[in-house]
Amino acid sequence: MSLDLSIDTAEVAAPDQAHVPCTPQRIVDDAHALRVARSLAETFATEAALRDRERRLPWAELDAFVASGLWAITVPREFGGPGVRNGTLAEVIATISAADGSLGQIPQNHFYALEVLRVGGSLEQQRFFYERVLAGERFGNALAEIGHKDFQRRTRLTRTEHGWFVDGKKFYCTGALYAHWIPTLVVADDDGRDVTYLAFVPRETPGVTVTDDWDGFGQRVTGSGSVQFEHVRVEPEWVVPFQVSFEHATTIGPVAQIMHAAIDLGQARGAFAAALAFVRERSRPWIDAKVERASDDPLTIAQFGDLAVRLRAAEASLRRAGRITDTAQAQPSDRSVAEASIAVAEARALTTTVSLDAGSRLFELAGTAATLDQLGLDRFWRNARTHTLHDPVRWKYHAVGNFYLNDKLPPRHGAL
Protein backbone atom coordinates (compact mmCIF):
# COMPACT_ATOMS: atom_id res chain seq x y z
CA MET A 1 0.00 0.00 0.00
CA SER A 2 1.29 3.46 -0.90
CA LEU A 3 0.74 5.85 1.97
CA ASP A 4 0.44 9.62 1.84
CA LEU A 5 2.12 10.84 5.02
CA SER A 6 2.36 14.45 3.91
CA ILE A 7 1.31 17.03 6.47
CA ASP A 8 -1.27 19.71 5.86
CA THR A 9 0.25 22.71 7.59
CA ALA A 10 -2.98 24.66 7.75
CA GLU A 11 -4.67 25.20 11.08
CA VAL A 12 -6.32 21.99 12.16
CA ALA A 13 -9.95 22.27 13.17
CA ALA A 14 -10.91 19.62 15.68
CA PRO A 15 -14.30 17.92 15.54
CA ASP A 16 -17.00 19.82 17.39
CA GLN A 17 -17.32 17.13 20.02
CA ALA A 18 -13.66 17.54 20.98
CA HIS A 19 -14.51 20.98 22.33
CA VAL A 20 -17.55 19.87 24.27
CA PRO A 21 -16.28 17.85 27.23
CA CYS A 22 -18.07 14.69 28.16
CA THR A 23 -19.04 13.91 31.73
CA PRO A 24 -16.46 11.34 32.82
CA GLN A 25 -17.08 8.62 35.32
CA ARG A 26 -15.36 9.11 38.66
CA ILE A 27 -12.44 6.83 39.42
CA VAL A 28 -12.69 5.97 43.10
CA ASP A 29 -9.24 4.56 43.91
CA ASP A 30 -6.02 3.06 42.56
CA ALA A 31 -7.45 -0.40 41.93
CA HIS A 32 -10.36 1.08 39.98
CA ALA A 33 -7.97 3.10 37.83
CA LEU A 34 -5.94 0.01 36.94
CA ARG A 35 -9.04 -2.01 36.03
CA VAL A 36 -10.33 0.72 33.76
CA ALA A 37 -6.92 1.14 32.09
CA ARG A 38 -6.67 -2.58 31.33
CA SER A 39 -10.14 -2.60 29.80
CA LEU A 40 -9.43 0.46 27.66
CA ALA A 41 -6.10 -0.94 26.50
CA GLU A 42 -7.81 -4.00 25.04
CA THR A 43 -10.01 -1.72 22.96
CA PHE A 44 -7.23 0.65 21.93
CA ALA A 45 -4.96 -2.17 20.76
CA THR A 46 -7.42 -3.32 18.09
CA GLU A 47 -6.68 -0.61 15.53
CA ALA A 48 -3.38 0.75 16.87
CA ALA A 49 -1.40 -0.41 13.82
CA LEU A 50 -3.98 1.05 11.45
CA ARG A 51 -3.98 4.43 13.20
CA ASP A 52 -0.21 4.50 12.98
CA ARG A 53 -0.09 3.42 9.34
CA GLU A 54 -2.74 5.88 8.13
CA ARG A 55 -1.84 8.59 10.62
CA ARG A 56 -5.45 8.57 11.77
CA LEU A 57 -5.90 11.02 14.63
CA PRO A 58 -7.53 9.23 17.61
CA TRP A 59 -10.42 11.55 18.39
CA ALA A 60 -12.87 8.80 19.33
CA GLU A 61 -10.28 6.97 21.41
CA LEU A 62 -9.40 10.15 23.30
CA ASP A 63 -13.06 10.78 24.04
CA ALA A 64 -13.31 7.29 25.48
CA PHE A 65 -10.07 7.79 27.39
CA VAL A 66 -11.37 10.96 29.02
CA ALA A 67 -14.86 9.52 29.61
CA SER A 68 -13.24 6.67 31.53
CA GLY A 69 -12.20 9.12 34.24
CA LEU A 70 -8.50 8.32 33.90
CA TRP A 71 -7.51 11.86 32.95
CA ALA A 72 -8.57 13.04 36.42
CA ILE A 73 -6.78 10.42 38.53
CA THR A 74 -4.17 12.81 39.96
CA VAL A 75 -6.72 15.38 41.12
CA PRO A 76 -6.29 15.39 44.93
CA ARG A 77 -8.99 13.85 47.07
CA GLU A 78 -9.71 17.14 48.80
CA PHE A 79 -10.77 18.52 45.40
CA GLY A 80 -12.98 15.57 44.46
CA GLY A 81 -10.46 13.37 42.66
CA PRO A 82 -9.00 9.99 43.61
CA GLY A 83 -5.44 11.31 44.12
CA VAL A 84 -3.84 8.04 43.02
CA ARG A 85 -0.26 7.10 43.83
CA ASN A 86 2.50 7.86 41.35
CA GLY A 87 3.07 4.16 40.80
CA THR A 88 -0.56 3.83 39.76
CA LEU A 89 -0.28 6.80 37.39
CA ALA A 90 2.78 5.19 35.83
CA GLU A 91 1.09 1.81 35.50
CA VAL A 92 -1.98 3.36 33.84
CA ILE A 93 0.23 5.10 31.28
CA ALA A 94 2.30 1.96 30.70
CA THR A 95 -0.84 -0.11 30.20
CA ILE A 96 -2.23 2.26 27.58
CA SER A 97 1.19 2.65 25.93
CA ALA A 98 1.53 -1.10 25.49
CA ALA A 99 -1.63 -0.96 23.38
CA ASP A 100 -0.85 2.30 21.56
CA GLY A 101 2.26 4.32 22.28
CA SER A 102 0.79 7.55 20.94
CA LEU A 103 -2.31 7.31 23.11
CA GLY A 104 -0.11 6.62 26.12
CA GLN A 105 1.90 9.79 25.55
CA ILE A 106 -0.90 12.25 24.80
CA PRO A 107 -1.97 12.77 28.47
CA GLN A 108 1.60 13.08 29.77
CA ASN A 109 1.64 16.87 29.58
CA HIS A 110 -1.92 17.00 30.93
CA PHE A 111 -0.72 15.33 34.13
CA TYR A 112 2.44 17.45 34.11
CA ALA A 113 0.32 20.61 34.11
CA LEU A 114 -1.73 19.23 37.00
CA GLU A 115 1.46 18.69 39.01
CA VAL A 116 2.64 22.25 38.28
CA LEU A 117 -0.78 23.43 39.41
CA ARG A 118 -0.61 21.33 42.59
CA VAL A 119 2.80 22.72 43.48
CA GLY A 120 2.56 26.35 42.41
CA GLY A 121 -1.09 27.24 41.86
CA SER A 122 -3.18 29.26 44.28
CA LEU A 123 -6.11 27.63 46.03
CA GLU A 124 -8.48 29.42 43.67
CA GLN A 125 -6.53 28.27 40.60
CA GLN A 126 -6.48 24.70 41.86
CA ARG A 127 -10.22 24.68 42.49
CA PHE A 128 -10.98 26.12 39.06
CA PHE A 129 -8.74 23.86 36.97
CA TYR A 130 -9.37 20.69 38.97
CA GLU A 131 -13.08 21.25 38.44
CA ARG A 132 -12.49 21.64 34.70
CA VAL A 133 -10.56 18.36 34.56
CA LEU A 134 -13.20 16.51 36.56
CA ALA A 135 -15.74 17.84 34.07
CA GLY A 136 -13.81 16.26 31.19
CA GLU A 137 -11.58 19.02 29.86
CA ARG A 138 -8.03 18.12 28.84
CA PHE A 139 -4.74 19.99 28.78
CA GLY A 140 -2.14 19.86 26.03
CA ASN A 141 1.17 21.70 26.13
CA ALA A 142 3.17 24.44 24.47
CA LEU A 143 6.45 24.31 26.33
CA ALA A 144 9.33 23.80 23.90
CA GLU A 145 10.75 26.13 21.28
CA ILE A 146 13.24 25.40 18.52
CA GLY A 147 16.49 27.34 18.63
CA HIS A 148 15.40 30.10 21.01
CA LYS A 149 17.99 30.24 23.78
CA ASP A 150 17.73 34.02 23.97
CA PHE A 151 14.99 34.91 26.45
CA GLN A 152 14.15 38.04 24.45
CA ARG A 153 13.00 35.85 21.56
CA ARG A 154 10.98 33.39 23.58
CA THR A 155 7.22 33.29 23.93
CA ARG A 156 6.37 36.22 26.14
CA LEU A 157 3.60 37.32 28.43
CA THR A 158 3.02 41.06 28.22
CA ARG A 159 1.02 42.87 30.88
CA THR A 160 -0.68 46.08 29.78
CA GLU A 161 -3.49 48.28 31.01
CA HIS A 162 -5.67 46.60 28.40
CA GLY A 163 -4.99 43.06 29.61
CA TRP A 164 -2.41 40.26 29.55
CA PHE A 165 -1.29 38.91 26.17
CA VAL A 166 0.84 36.00 24.91
CA ASP A 167 2.95 36.12 21.73
CA GLY A 168 5.26 33.45 20.35
CA LYS A 169 5.55 30.07 18.68
CA LYS A 170 6.06 26.60 20.14
CA PHE A 171 6.85 23.15 18.77
CA TYR A 172 6.70 19.55 20.12
CA CYS A 173 3.29 20.53 21.48
CA THR A 174 2.08 17.03 22.31
CA GLY A 175 -1.64 16.98 22.94
CA ALA A 176 -2.29 20.61 22.01
CA LEU A 177 -4.20 19.53 18.93
CA TYR A 178 -6.70 17.67 21.13
CA ALA A 179 -6.79 20.04 24.09
CA HIS A 180 -9.36 22.35 25.60
CA TRP A 181 -6.57 24.27 27.35
CA ILE A 182 -2.94 24.68 26.21
CA PRO A 183 -0.60 25.27 29.19
CA THR A 184 2.10 27.49 27.70
CA LEU A 185 5.54 28.34 29.04
CA VAL A 186 5.93 32.11 28.89
CA VAL A 187 8.49 34.68 29.96
CA ALA A 188 7.36 37.87 31.67
CA ASP A 189 9.17 40.95 32.92
CA ASP A 190 8.97 41.11 36.71
CA ASP A 191 10.60 44.34 37.89
CA GLY A 192 13.28 44.15 35.23
CA ARG A 193 13.90 40.41 35.62
CA ASP A 194 12.64 37.76 33.20
CA VAL A 195 10.59 35.11 35.05
CA THR A 196 8.85 32.06 33.60
CA TYR A 197 5.19 31.19 34.14
CA LEU A 198 2.76 28.57 32.88
CA ALA A 199 -0.18 30.28 31.19
CA PHE A 200 -3.28 28.13 30.66
CA VAL A 201 -4.62 29.29 27.29
CA PRO A 202 -8.06 28.16 26.07
CA ARG A 203 -7.64 26.27 22.78
CA GLU A 204 -10.27 28.35 20.94
CA THR A 205 -9.06 31.80 22.00
CA PRO A 206 -8.66 34.20 19.05
CA GLY A 207 -5.02 34.32 17.96
CA VAL A 208 -4.25 30.67 18.78
CA THR A 209 -3.27 28.58 15.76
CA VAL A 210 -2.57 24.86 16.20
CA THR A 211 -0.79 23.30 13.22
CA ASP A 212 -0.56 19.56 12.77
CA ASP A 213 2.99 19.55 11.34
CA TRP A 214 4.49 16.74 13.39
CA ASP A 215 6.04 14.34 10.86
CA GLY A 216 8.32 12.22 13.04
CA PHE A 217 8.64 8.57 12.04
CA GLY A 218 7.30 7.50 15.44
CA GLN A 219 4.54 8.58 17.82
CA ARG A 220 2.72 9.67 14.69
CA VAL A 221 -0.66 10.60 16.16
CA THR A 222 0.39 12.41 19.34
CA GLY A 223 -0.45 15.79 17.79
CA SER A 224 3.06 17.02 18.62
CA GLY A 225 3.09 19.91 16.17
CA SER A 226 3.22 23.70 16.40
CA VAL A 227 1.22 26.32 18.25
CA GLN A 228 1.32 30.02 17.30
CA PHE A 229 0.19 32.74 19.70
CA GLU A 230 -0.57 36.14 18.20
CA HIS A 231 -1.57 38.69 20.81
CA VAL A 232 -3.60 36.08 22.66
CA ARG A 233 -5.39 37.43 25.69
CA VAL A 234 -5.20 35.46 28.94
CA GLU A 235 -6.72 36.20 32.29
CA PRO A 236 -4.35 36.75 35.25
CA GLU A 237 -5.98 33.88 37.14
CA TRP A 238 -4.92 31.49 34.35
CA VAL A 239 -1.22 32.20 34.89
CA VAL A 240 0.58 29.91 37.35
CA PRO A 241 4.11 30.43 38.73
CA PHE A 242 6.61 28.06 37.11
CA GLN A 243 10.18 29.16 37.68
CA VAL A 244 9.67 29.59 41.41
CA SER A 245 8.55 25.95 41.61
CA PHE A 246 12.10 24.87 40.76
CA GLU A 247 13.77 27.30 43.14
CA HIS A 248 12.88 24.98 46.00
CA ALA A 249 12.42 21.22 46.25
CA THR A 250 9.32 19.99 44.42
CA THR A 251 8.36 16.78 42.65
CA ILE A 252 7.48 18.36 39.30
CA GLY A 253 10.60 16.85 37.70
CA PRO A 254 10.25 13.30 39.07
CA VAL A 255 6.52 13.19 38.24
CA ALA A 256 7.19 14.33 34.67
CA GLN A 257 9.95 11.78 34.23
CA ILE A 258 8.15 8.82 35.77
CA MET A 259 5.47 9.22 33.12
CA HIS A 260 8.09 9.18 30.37
CA ALA A 261 9.54 6.01 31.87
CA ALA A 262 6.06 4.49 31.89
CA ILE A 263 5.55 5.26 28.20
CA ASP A 264 8.79 3.45 27.36
CA LEU A 265 7.90 0.52 29.59
CA GLY A 266 4.57 0.20 27.81
CA GLN A 267 6.31 0.25 24.42
CA ALA A 268 8.53 -2.60 25.62
CA ARG A 269 5.58 -4.62 26.87
CA GLY A 270 3.78 -4.19 23.57
CA ALA A 271 6.81 -5.29 21.55
CA PHE A 272 7.45 -8.26 23.83
CA ALA A 273 3.84 -9.45 23.57
CA ALA A 274 3.89 -9.07 19.78
CA ALA A 275 7.13 -11.06 19.56
CA LEU A 276 5.74 -13.87 21.70
CA ALA A 277 2.60 -14.16 19.59
CA PHE A 278 4.47 -14.09 16.28
CA VAL A 279 7.08 -16.67 17.23
CA ARG A 280 4.46 -19.01 18.66
CA GLU A 281 2.10 -18.74 15.70
CA ARG A 282 4.02 -17.80 12.57
CA SER A 283 7.80 -18.02 12.78
CA ARG A 284 9.73 -20.92 11.28
CA PRO A 285 12.53 -22.56 13.28
CA TRP A 286 16.12 -22.19 12.11
CA ILE A 287 17.34 -25.30 10.33
CA ASP A 288 20.23 -25.96 12.74
CA ALA A 289 17.90 -25.97 15.75
CA LYS A 290 16.43 -29.26 14.51
CA VAL A 291 13.04 -28.55 16.05
CA GLU A 292 9.59 -28.38 14.50
CA ARG A 293 8.46 -25.15 16.13
CA ALA A 294 10.30 -21.85 16.42
CA SER A 295 9.18 -21.65 20.03
CA ASP A 296 11.24 -24.77 20.77
CA ASP A 297 14.49 -23.30 19.42
CA PRO A 298 16.80 -23.22 22.48
CA LEU A 299 18.58 -20.03 21.41
CA THR A 300 15.27 -18.28 20.81
CA ILE A 301 14.05 -19.43 24.22
CA ALA A 302 17.17 -18.00 25.85
CA GLN A 303 16.70 -14.66 24.08
CA PHE A 304 13.13 -14.40 25.31
CA GLY A 305 14.31 -15.25 28.80
CA ASP A 306 16.89 -12.49 28.71
CA LEU A 307 14.36 -9.96 27.44
CA ALA A 308 11.81 -11.00 30.06
CA VAL A 309 14.33 -10.45 32.87
CA ARG A 310 15.19 -6.98 31.56
CA LEU A 311 11.50 -6.14 31.30
CA ARG A 312 10.78 -7.29 34.86
CA ALA A 313 13.74 -5.28 36.16
CA ALA A 314 12.40 -2.16 34.47
CA GLU A 315 8.94 -2.76 35.94
CA ALA A 316 10.34 -3.23 39.44
CA SER A 317 12.46 -0.09 39.12
CA LEU A 318 9.46 1.94 38.00
CA ARG A 319 7.34 0.72 40.93
CA ARG A 320 10.17 1.61 43.33
CA ALA A 321 10.47 5.06 41.76
CA GLY A 322 6.74 5.56 42.28
CA ARG A 323 6.99 4.78 45.99
CA ILE A 324 9.95 7.11 46.49
CA THR A 325 8.21 9.90 44.58
CA ASP A 326 5.12 9.45 46.77
CA THR A 327 7.32 9.97 49.83
CA ALA A 328 8.87 13.09 48.34
CA GLN A 329 5.44 14.54 47.53
CA ALA A 330 4.28 13.97 51.09
CA GLN A 331 7.47 15.39 52.64
CA PRO A 332 9.39 17.45 50.09
CA SER A 333 12.96 18.38 50.98
CA ASP A 334 16.19 18.77 49.06
CA ARG A 335 17.13 15.20 49.90
CA SER A 336 13.78 13.48 49.40
CA VAL A 337 13.18 15.14 46.02
CA ALA A 338 16.74 14.33 44.94
CA GLU A 339 16.21 10.67 45.91
CA ALA A 340 13.00 10.66 43.87
CA SER A 341 14.76 12.17 40.87
CA ILE A 342 17.53 9.58 41.07
CA ALA A 343 15.09 6.68 41.46
CA VAL A 344 13.17 7.86 38.42
CA ALA A 345 16.41 8.37 36.46
CA GLU A 346 17.34 4.77 37.23
CA ALA A 347 13.95 3.63 35.97
CA ARG A 348 14.28 5.74 32.84
CA ALA A 349 17.68 4.22 32.08
CA LEU A 350 16.19 0.73 32.26
CA THR A 351 12.95 1.50 30.42
CA THR A 352 14.81 3.31 27.63
CA THR A 353 17.08 0.33 27.09
CA VAL A 354 14.39 -2.33 27.23
CA SER A 355 11.96 -0.47 24.96
CA LEU A 356 14.57 -0.16 22.21
CA ASP A 357 15.81 -3.70 22.78
CA ALA A 358 12.34 -5.24 22.67
CA GLY A 359 11.39 -3.35 19.52
CA SER A 360 14.56 -4.50 17.77
CA ARG A 361 14.67 -8.09 18.98
CA LEU A 362 11.07 -8.58 17.92
CA PHE A 363 12.35 -8.87 14.34
CA GLU A 364 15.49 -10.79 15.20
CA LEU A 365 13.42 -13.49 16.90
CA ALA A 366 10.31 -13.41 14.69
CA GLY A 367 12.14 -13.43 11.37
CA THR A 368 11.74 -11.75 8.00
CA ALA A 369 7.98 -12.30 7.77
CA ALA A 370 7.53 -9.91 10.71
CA THR A 371 8.78 -7.00 8.57
CA LEU A 372 5.75 -7.01 6.27
CA ASP A 373 4.38 -3.49 6.21
CA GLN A 374 0.76 -4.57 6.63
CA LEU A 375 1.55 -5.94 10.10
CA GLY A 376 2.81 -2.62 11.42
CA LEU A 377 5.16 -4.28 13.90
CA ASP A 378 7.84 -1.72 13.18
CA ARG A 379 5.77 0.83 15.08
CA PHE A 380 7.06 -0.49 18.41
CA TRP A 381 10.69 0.32 17.59
CA ARG A 382 9.84 3.57 15.80
CA ASN A 383 7.72 4.75 18.71
CA ALA A 384 10.35 3.77 21.26
CA ARG A 385 13.19 5.33 19.32
CA THR A 386 11.25 8.56 18.90
CA HIS A 387 10.02 8.86 22.48
CA THR A 388 13.30 7.86 24.15
CA LEU A 389 14.95 10.87 22.51
CA HIS A 390 12.87 13.12 24.77
CA ASP A 391 15.74 13.31 27.27
CA PRO A 392 19.22 11.80 26.66
CA VAL A 393 19.66 8.63 28.70
CA ARG A 394 23.41 9.29 28.97
CA TRP A 395 22.61 12.13 31.36
CA LYS A 396 20.49 9.81 33.49
CA TYR A 397 23.54 7.63 34.07
CA HIS A 398 25.60 10.74 34.85
CA ALA A 399 23.11 11.97 37.44
CA VAL A 400 22.86 8.56 39.07
CA GLY A 401 26.64 8.09 39.19
CA ASN A 402 27.29 11.58 40.51
CA PHE A 403 24.70 11.08 43.24
CA TYR A 404 26.19 7.84 44.57
CA LEU A 405 29.85 8.64 44.00
CA ASN A 406 29.99 12.32 44.95
CA ASP A 407 26.70 12.83 46.83
CA LYS A 408 25.82 15.42 44.20
CA LEU A 409 22.12 16.26 44.12
CA PRO A 410 20.66 16.32 40.62
CA PRO A 411 19.56 19.61 39.02
CA ARG A 412 15.96 20.73 39.46
CA HIS A 413 14.12 20.84 36.16
CA GLY A 414 11.44 18.91 34.31
CA ALA A 415 13.96 16.73 32.46
CA LEU A 416 15.31 14.97 35.56
The string of pLDDT tens digits covering residues 20-36 is: 556 899 999 999 999 99
Residues of the chain with CATH 2.40.110.10: 151-242
Give the pLDDT confidence score for residue 245 in this predicted structure: 84
- 3-class SS of residue 258: helix
Given a contact cutoff of 8 angstroms between Cβ atoms, the answer to whether 104 and 89 are in contact is no
Give the pLDDT confidence score for residue 414 in this predicted structure: 78
Would you give per-residue pLDDT tens digits along the chain (416 residues)?
222 223 333 344 444 444 555 689 999 999 999 999 999 999 999 999 999 999 999 999 999 999 999 999 999 999 999 999 999 999 999 999 999 999 999 999 999 999 999 999 999 999 999 999 999 999 999 999 986 555 445 899 999 999 999 999 999 999 999 999 999 999 999 988 999 999 999 999 999 999 999 999 999 999 999 999 999 999 999 999 999 888 999 999 999 999 999 999 999 999 999 999 999 999 999 999 999 999 999 999 999 999 999 999 999 999 999 999 999 999 999 999 999 999 999 999 999 999 999 999 999 999 999 999 999 999 999 999 999 999 999 999 999 999 999 999 999 887 77
Is pTM beyond 0.85? Reply is yes
Write the Ramachandran bin of 319: left for phi over 0, alpha for psi from -120 to 50, otherwise beta: alpha
pLDDT digits (tens, 9 = 90+) for 112-133: 999 999 999 999 999 999 999 9
CATH superfamily of 16-134: Acyl-CoA dehydrogenase/oxidase, N-terminal domain (1.10.540.10)
Residues of the chain with CATH 1.10.540.10: 16-134
CATH superfamily of 151-242: Butyryl-CoA Dehydrogenase, subunit A, domain 2 (2.40.110.10)
CA distances from 70 to 77, 165, 283, 398 (A): 14, 32, 37, 34
How many residues are recorded in the chain?
A: 416
380: DSSP letter = H
- DSSP string over 166-184: EEEEEB--TTGGG-SEEEE
- 3-class SS of residue 188: strand
Tell which CATH classification among 3.40.462.40, 3.40.50.300, 1.20.140.10, 3.40.50.970 matches the domain 248-406: 1.20.140.10
